[in-house]
Structure 1
Amino acid sequence: MADIDTFLDLVKHSDNIVFFGGAGVSTESGIPDFRSTDGLYHQHYKYPPETMLSHTFYEQHMDEFYRFYRDKMLALDAQPNMAHIKLAELEQAGKLKAIVTQNIDGLHQKAGSKNVLELHGSVHRNYCQHCHKLFSAEYIKNSTGIPHCDDCGGTIKPDVVLYEEGLDNDTVQQALYYISHADMLIIGGTSLVVYPAAGLINYYHGHKLVLINKSSTDMDSRADLVLHEPIGQVFAKITL
């Protein structure tokens, strides 16, 4: 309990907070992560999820890619949990300056957050590879087989960063700016093993580094405060 009180006190006395989050932020909204016991890596498909979400697989087995993508990556009915809601409230209060997320589900925006830097893109943006017309996640969900543009017939690709693809440089630069200027950095719901995203925390130079994750990470020893608790339960205690 003392650790939670310390966390709440740090939030109370900070006004330039940046939040860096991973898949664990959305598990309380019913979206499976990758590495926990009930995550995607522990479910059985014809190919491993990491293979199916690679650029090579997308190019070579597009039908199979979209079957998995519709089934497991488009959780369009999911609702924000207390972590998403409280982060939006902190931003509204002027205390939180940016959310840097590895998630592609759009739940931060659904909760009302405005300055969300999506390192791995978003399922809510999809574009025709030929004419670049944009399509919604619902369009992809309701399509069958390989989705095609209703204007030119081109193939539609989700605006998500697949394995083997690079991160968007502008998004990374913005993330570096906010993290390096933060007086408090909260890292939540990530095992900090996916690079280059996990390397961004090296740019934080303050003394209020908080790690909130149900399991321990290799970065725990570097944090000023570690909470091995469900992130939604921790954030639910924040009052403004």
Structure 2
Amino acid sequence: MNFSELKKIVADSGNIVFFGGAGTSTESDIPDFRSAGGLYGSGGAFAYPPEVMLSRTFFMQHTEQFYEFYRAKMVHPHAKPGAAHLALTELERQGKLRAVITQNIDGLHQKAGSRNVLELHGSVERNTCMECGARFELDYILQAEDAVPKCGACGGTVKPDVVLYEEMLDTDTLLKAQEAVREADILIVGGTSLSVYPAAGLVAEYEGDKLILINKSATPYDARANYLIQDSIGKVLTALISG
């Protein structure tokens, strides 16, 4: 692969879409799900496996235990945007990046300065009372005196606006993501194993000939990529925008 050619393609485009996953944030010390040291390998201190505790059923039936796990493993309030987040913000500032589509719930793209972010799986930064619909920021969850955060207005249970197992993705967000991918000149996919559906199916929406796939391990879409790079997402994106 000619990296200089790839840099020129990116430099000449005004309609890039980025689609990323957990690997975008592992460089900010947020663990992913399935790799060695990832979330699914760290649930030994809890009575149930992570995929059970992150389900809608578990949240409704064992809300206190859900929040114990959620606060310990899913929320990283001190994490800072990494090189990948900052590079994408710069691409947007230059008028080249149209949208960031992310599977992550950490809010780091917005903290880096990205404005058009489509969060397929929601965000820990938003929380809603299940009774009256009142909205709360992350600090409300972290500073709650009770194990289960309650709404100050009506006393209802506050739920994070994250998509749990057994829940559907937000239809409007998914449709916007599909439209952005279909209309993109360049689709950059990075830091995702492309194994979680329906999010991974977004790649199939792209009909162009400039699919750039950046991931340290193999994915089901490697053969579809026009440019395949198995390296650090932060390192590669930084190099793509450097002079």
Which residue does 2:12 correspond to in 1? 13
> How far apart are the structure 1 equivalents of 2:9 and 2:34?
30
Instruction: Say if 2:221 is the partner of 1:230.
Output: no
Q: How does 1:184-203 map to 2 (within 5 A)?
A: 184-203=186-205
Query: Is structure 2 residue 170 aligned with structure 1 residue 168?
Result: yes
1:88 aligns with 89
- Which residue identity lines up with residue 142 of structure 2 in the other structure? K
- 1:28-48 Cα distance to aligned partner (Å, 9 max, x none): 001000011110111123211
| Separation in structure 2 between the aligned mates of residue 223 and residue 3 of structure 1, nearest angstrom | 14
Matched to 1:195, the amino acid is Y
Q: Which amino acid aligns with 1:75?
A: H
CA distance in 1: counterparts of 2:67 and 2:2, whole angstroms:
44
> Residue 32 of structure 2 corresponds to which residue in structure 1?
33
**Mapped partners of 2:2, 2:18: distance in 1:** 18
SS at match of 1:125: strand
Counterpart-to-counterpart distance in 1, 2:36 and 2:83: 23
- Asked whether 1:134 is paired with 2:135, we answer yes
User: Which residue pairs with 1:158 in the alignment?
Assistant: 160
2:139 maps to a residue whose letter is: E
For 1:108, the aligned partner's letter is H
Equivalent position amino acid for 1:194 in 2: V
Structure 1 distance, partners of 2:40, 2:8, is 37
Q: Secondary structure at the match of 1:158?
A: strand
Aligned residues: 239
* Structure 1 runs not aligned, ≥5 long: none
Asked whether the 8 Å contact 1:3–1:225 carries over to 2, the reply is no
Q: Secondary structure at the match of 1:191?
A: coil
Question: 1:11-160 alignment to 2 at 5 Å?
Answer: 11-43=10-42, 44=44, 45-143=46-144, 144-160=146-162
1:66-111 CA-partner distances (Å, limit 9, x unpaired)? 0000011110110001110110111111100001100110000000
1:142, distance to aligned residue in structure 2 (A): 1.6
- Per-residue CA distance 1:6-61 (angstroms, 9 max, x = gap): 43232112211000000110000010000111101111232111111110111111
Give the share of equivalent positions with the same residue, in percent. Answer: 57
Aligned CA RMSD, in angstroms, stands at 1.1
CA distance in 2, matches of 1:141, 1:149: 14
In 1, the alpha carbon distance for the partners of 2:154 and 2:242 equals 51
Equivalent position of 1:239 in the other structure: 242
Aligned residue in 2 for 1:179 = 181
Give 1:3 deviation, angstroms.
5.0
Change (3 A) 1:227 1:64: same
- Please identify, of 74-83 and 40-49, the stretch whose mean Cα deviation from structure 2 is larger: 40-49
Unaligned ranges ≥5, structure 2: none
Aligned partner letter, 1:186:
I
The change in CA–CA distance for 1:140 and 1:4 in structure 2 (over 3 A counts) is farther
Q: Matched residues in 2 for 1:231 and 1:174: separation? A: 24
TM-score computed with the length of structure 1 as normaliser: 0.97
1:206 equivalent to 2:208? Answer: yes
Q: 1:4 to 1:31 in 2, by over 3 A?
A: farther
Classify the secondary structure of the residue corresponding to 1:18.
strand
